[in-house]
A and B are shown apart, each in its own frame.
Chain A
């Protein structure tokens, strides 16, 4: 508020203590050279040409940047995920699991206009597609997808499927409808390795703690006719051991591998 000094000192007149005191400090708004400086200065006290310069601004009071990252590779396997919900298990919220190294928890100390969350991650997935004349397996893709969540709430627009990279041709070598054999296999995981950079912008965010994390879901590679091994597909596959090529039974899983990844937050007042 504009500073005023109500008392005037005039030559030849007796000094008025009360008037002098008001010039120095007064509870009346605007009065006194000490009063307004005690937290009362506003835009009317600024010089007409005053403009905020960078040195006037307390650090990170307008823009803030935060970041976490992980360099080490992480392999996540499908046996860490539930198939509760059957064929639509990926729609069950609790089935998504957080991925190590793709979380950022921050305290935003004041209300901001925008909070731009960004996350980058290098991924390659061993995601299985089965082609088979066996009706129980049929022509089946096993879900593998990622999705971000903010403060525990899923962000549906961030859901992405991971490309299919392993194609298994499975036949019934006995004709009984029970024994599975991988007749052929094409793996193109290396061709599907990519870095994805995604984001989510939250608007008019109030001060507080916030957490963004990336989650993934991988449907277990189940065989409806399999009664053991938690229903995981069990099929023979040729392996080279020493000088021999032999068929062994194997259980099949999916894998999502994460390379270098980071999560970033930009907030602007």
Chain B
């Protein structure tokens, strides 16, 4: 409400007019019941916020769904759906469908939803007993050619350069949010190969030889197709958006679809069994976080009653009528302002304290390359104490040890609070920790193209595992939570023939001897609750959040004594601790 001032100053000779007397009291009463606003309130009053509702504050509310699924990789065991539980199989029929357990219903006012999802997918078809499948290209090549190629490249369906062809998106209230689709707008759009003829016309060529030849306008260009969806066999997909919503209930989901792999020959097994049935994508660990940024909430508070009667002519001025019924009531009202006395939107940023309890960000921009070849033995090979105890993930202080290694490139990829205090992140206050990280991975490989060509070496079967973790303050114990793991692989594989060595002329494809690194950005994301962290650490505060990594290769180590190496450079990690 606007500022109010007395319309006149009472003087000793004045006649007490009831209208003027009312104007001394009524404006103050009107302001109180009409709604105090930003003009009436001092800055920096930092009133306490209402946190009585779970996962809800006056500024935001949140929903978080997370499902942990192990891909069941271990020595001799490829990503294997037969051992997985709770994995989700993406439909192959080109339709968007919800990924199980990634839907959240949220009731809002007029708000913006900050949506972040992380989806880990695997394209089934790694390794395995290729010969037993007895598959071949129909009409071209032999079964053994196919088996050799698959064995060399490590994946049944991608060995010919076919991409995984999977897209993900966020869907709100049944509508796919187009700008969250992880791909191209047109699923069948091509791009030109950037090779330009130096000639304008293709002389001496044409539809036929002899005098009928007609020159074309330039030798034709070539197009590259299947560029509209994910190519790698394995990838952790983080996607998000800001999405404005109107009041009501809203359903937020993560959806996926498979782009048909056109211009592709079908696999036909010698036994007549069509093996395309085995060609599918599974989603393992997935999570969805929705933070409602409130704008115009539907909540309201009842206006408190304040009765300040007006004076009429011939009313008697008494201690009761002036003091008790008016001045005292108004004084008390202004000294005990209730929730309903504030107008909608009465408080602005200069009245409120930040809901951010702690925050920090660390960046690592070194152009040097770091390497680790620590080995994650996989879920089945370690003792799982309980599903609530994440300590079963072994940690190793060596970059080549057995377990997860804290990533570092000159400096450890970790973030403390801004003061660096060992007890920096207080878990005693009800809060959530939004942790994000990005790591530049340059390559994952075991050995090098051209040094050994056997199954499991320079193939798509080299896996990297990155994980978000944290270190407890007083115990100095680090933890990794199962649903904080993401997997990547050496997707950038090309044909290889171990029988042919390098030749200066480079006259044959089999002479390729340079590894094409699987450059990628690995996105990590997790939301921890303070109660969850407290339970894991036994009530300890958190010293720092950090990124761990390890590698897996179901066959290279066992068959060839080679460790899979993961090369990486840059990273950043951020933490926001929000009051709840």
Contacts and interface: CB of A to CB of B under 8 A. Distances in A.
- Mutual binders A and B: yes
B198 interface: yes
Interface string A79-94: 0000000000000000
Given A56-B344, A63-B293, A260-B180, 6 more contacts: A2-B335, A33-B334, A37-B28, A50-B48, A55-B301, A57-B58
Contacts of B503: 133
Interface in B170-227: 178-186, 189, 191-199, 202, 204-209, 216, 219-220, 224-227
Contacts of B48: 50-52
B492 A188 contact: yes
Contacts of A131: 506, 511-514
Question: Which residue of B162, B440, B495 has the most chain A CB atoms within 10 A of its CB atom?
Answer: B440
Which size class do B's interface residues fall under? 35 or more
Contacts of B517: 161, 163-164
Interface string A137-165: 00100000000000000011111111111
29 contacts: A5-B327, A23-B327, A37-B40, A39-B40, A39-B42, A40-B42, A44-B335, A52-B352, A57-B348, A58-B345, A61-B348, A114-B576, A118-B240, A120-B238, A120-B239, A158-B572, A159-B367, A160-B570, A188-B161, A191-B158, A193-B229, A194-B230, A197-B237, A198-B438, A199-B438, A203-B359, A242-B206, A243-B208, A253-B195
A37 B523 contact: no
Contacts of A10: 319
A258 to B, nearest CB: 9
Contacts of A67: 241-242
Interface in B399-424: 418
A156 to B, nearest CB: 3
A268 B241 contact: no
Closest 5 CB pairs of A and B: A156-B365, A133-B504, A69-B179, A195-B182, A157-B363
B135 interface: no
Contacts of A124: 191, 227, 231
Interface in B46-62: 46-52, 57-60
A197 B242 contact: no
A244 to B, nearest CB: 4
Contacts of B204: 246
Question: Which residue of B183, B205, B296, B506 has the most chain A CB atoms within 10 A of its CB atom?
Answer: B506
A227 interface: no
A163 B520 contact: yes
Contact of A249 (B12, B32, B197, B319): B197
Interface in B38-97: 38-42, 45-52, 57-60
B283 interface: no
Contact of B506 (A34, A171, A248): A171
Contacts of A259: 183-185, 227-228
B1 to A, nearest CB: 8
A39 B39 contact: yes
A113 B241 contact: no
Given A58-B348, A188-B161, A260-B185, A195 B355 contact: no
Given A21-B6, A59-B296, A243-B207, A5 B331 contact: yes
A194 B184 contact: no
B198 A78 contact: no
Interface in A55-109: 55-67, 69-73, 75, 77-78
Contacts of B208: 242-243
Contact of B356 (A64, A126, A269): A269
B146 to A, nearest CB: 18
A246 B194 contact: no
Contacts of A157: 363-365, 438, 570-572
B448 interface: no
A169 B507 contact: yes
B297 interface: yes
A184 B299 CA distance: 68
B364 A78 contact: no
Contact of B319 (A11, A66, A163): A11
A41 B42 contact: yes
B336 A188 contact: no
Interface of A: 2-5, 8-11, 15, 17, 20-21, 23-25, 33-34, 36-48, 50-67, 69-73, 75, 77-78, 110, 113-114, 116, 118, 120, 122, 124, 126, 129, 131-133, 139, 155-165, 167, 169-171, 183-184, 186-203, 229, 234, 237, 239-244, 246, 248-255, 257, 259-262, 264, 266, 268-269
Nearest to B292: A63
B342 to A, nearest CB: 5
B430 to A, nearest CB: 14
A177 B209 CA distance: 33
A77 to B, nearest CB: 6
Contact of B516 (A64, A120, A129, A202): A129
Given A24-B6, A47-B336, A201 B361 contact: yes
B277 interface: no
A192 B516 CA distance: 11
Given A34-B4, A37-B36, A61 B512 contact: no
A88 B539 CA distance: 51
Nearest to B12: A17
A241 B220 contact: yes
Contact of B40 (A41, A169, A250, A262): A41
B356 A34 contact: no
B114 interface: yes
A139 B210 CA distance: 42
Contacts of A187: 161, 193, 224
A183 B189 CA distance: 28
B331 A3 contact: yes
B562 to A, nearest CB: 22
Nearest to A173: B505
Given A20-B10, A171-B507, A39 B3 contact: yes
A124 B192 CA distance: 12
Interface in B340-354: 342, 344-350, 352, 354
B112 interface: yes
Contacts of B519: 160-164
Contacts of A155: 363, 365
A268 B576 contact: yes
Contacts of B296: 59
Given A195-B239, A244-B205, A52 B47 contact: yes
B531 to A, nearest CB: 21
Contact of B576 (A61, A116, A118, A156): A116
A139 B515 CA distance: 11
A120 to B, nearest CB: 6
B383 interface: no
Contacts of B509: 169, 184, 186
Contacts of A250: 195-198
A65 B4 contact: no
Question: Which residue of A126, A162, A241 has the most chain B CB atoms within 10 A of its CB atom?
Answer: A241
B184 A73 contact: yes
A160 B521 contact: yes
A198 B524 CA distance: 9
Contacts of A9: 317-319, 322-323, 327
B273 interface: no
A124 B184 CA distance: 10
A269 B193 contact: no
Interface in B307-330: 317-319, 322-323, 327-328, 330
B338 interface: yes
Interface string B431-452: 0000010101010000000000
Contacts of B46: 43
